[in-house]
Structure formats: structure tokens, C-alpha cells
Amino acid sequence: MSDLVVPPGAAIRERLVRERNVWLCTVRPDGSPHVTPVWFVFLRDRWWIGVDGVSVKVRNLERFPRVSLALEDGTSPVVAEGEAVLRRGLFPEEVLEAFAEKYA
């Protein structure tokens, strides 16, 4: 069975540009969830999230890369699930520019 990828519609894309935080849920080694708000940009149909390389989030992802993401609005939820890819080093220039524009 393969994962179904559904690109977000216009209303959701607008929220992805506007909203500053997304809740990231990773799984600890004991199976319990670790949930934290993080800054993000959504670009190239991917969530880009910068974290400290020694954070709990990274340690969890090194063991189990499945994640859930949820925008903060409980009235109109936007939830994404999938497998994270850890990227060491700098993001591509357009991603860095998107972060600078969003969080300047």
C-alpha cells in the first residue's frame, strides 16, 4: 500500500503561508508522543521545519521518522501525516528565503 499525497487547496495554502506555527508530533523510544510547536514553511509541496540537530525531535526522528503535523486552529483543523526526512546542513536557498520572508 502506498501513501496518498493530496496537494492542499487554495484556502489551505493561504493558511500555510499565513500561520506561524505548526504542532509537530514525533514518537519517543518508549512509544509516547512528543508534541511541540515549530516554525515552518510549506514550499515545493513539502513542510520545511528547522530544528536543533540535538533536539528531542531529531533524536526521535532518527529512530522512527513517522510524524503528524497540525495547524493550531481547532475549529478548522489541517492535519498532515507522513515520514520525515532529516536533512543535515543548510536548506536550499529558496527555503531560506521563504523562512526569512515569513519570520523576518
What are the pLDDT digits (tens) for 44-93?
A: 889 999 999 899 999 999 999 999 999 988 888 899 999 999 998 899 99
Percentage of residues in the chain with pLDDT exceeding 90?
78
Compute CA distances 27 → 21, 56, 57, 68, 86, whole Å.
Answer: 19, 10, 8, 10, 15
CATH topology of domain 10-103: Pnp Oxidase; Chain A (2.30.110)
Q: How many CB atoms lie within 10 A of CB 8?
A: 14
